[in-house]
Amino acid sequence: MLSAGTLPTGHWIGNTLRLMLVDEQFAVTLQGGRGSVSHALNQVLWEDTPSQNNIGRFAVRSCELVSRKIRPGDMLILGWAAANADPQVQPPAQGVGAGNRAHLSFGHGDHGCPYPAPELAEVVARTAVEVLLDRLPDIELAVKPEELLWLPSFWVRRLAALPVTFTPTMTSH
């Protein structure tokens, strides 16, 4: 479980930092203290989840989904990013729905990440972003946002690189 969660957690951190660097409203809310890092991470899971799809589930009985017939044994792809983008369930980015954690980025039920994996991933991601904001307050994107390259993948959403600039500081240990 540890190895299965490492890359998605790293991509979650990267996607959060990218959003912070390219979306001024997101950055101001996060850096200005009006929104918590936990709310920012939650927003990224709704809008830019690193775990896009999961394959390998098979229908156990016949059913119909959006006028599509599904037969027993049909392989299904769970589209977490697509489910999170459903306007009937997605909360507004800021405001009332900001604390809504009903996204499917960790799956759900029998096919969800086992406890306490989601909580541990959030602790790691939150700590990484909080430390970065504390130690590199002037971090900026080193390229134009449209120059960022997303790696092609059916499974995950991640950048090839996130080039940044910042003023180095001395830290004491």
- Provide the whole-model pTM: 0.86
Element containing residue 89 per DSSP (H, E): none
Over residues 111-150, the pLDDT tens digits come to 788 889 999 999 999 999 999 988 998 999 999 999 999 9
Q: Are 105 and 49 in contact (CB under 8 A)?
A: yes
75 forms bridges with which residues in the sheet?
Answer: 58
Beta carbons within 10 angstroms of residue 111's beta carbon: 12
Question: Can you tell me the distance from the alpha carbon of 16 to that of 105, in angstroms, rounded to the nearest whole number?
Answer: 14
Query: pLDDT class for 4, splitting at 50, 70, 90?
Result: confident
Query: pLDDT class for 2, splitting at 50, 70, 90?
Result: low
Question: Can you tell me the distance from the alpha carbon of 53 to that of 168, in angstroms, rounded to the nearest whole number?
Answer: 38
Residue 173 has pLDDT above 70, yes or no: no
Question: Can you tell me the distance from the alpha carbon of 88 to that of 100, in angstroms, rounded to the nearest whole number?
Answer: 13
Over residues 57-98, the pLDDT tens digits come to 899 999 998 899 999 999 988 898 998 888 888 776 555 446
pLDDT value for 131: 93
Over residues 9-53, the pLDDT tens digits come to 999 999 999 999 999 888 877 766 677 888 889 989 998 999 999
Q: What is the DSSP string of 93-159?
A: SSSGGGG-----TT--GGGSPPTTHHHHHHHHHHHHHHHHHHH-TT-EESS-GGG--BPP-SSB--B
Helix (H/G/I), strand (E/B), else coil: 49 = coil
pLDDT value for 12: 96
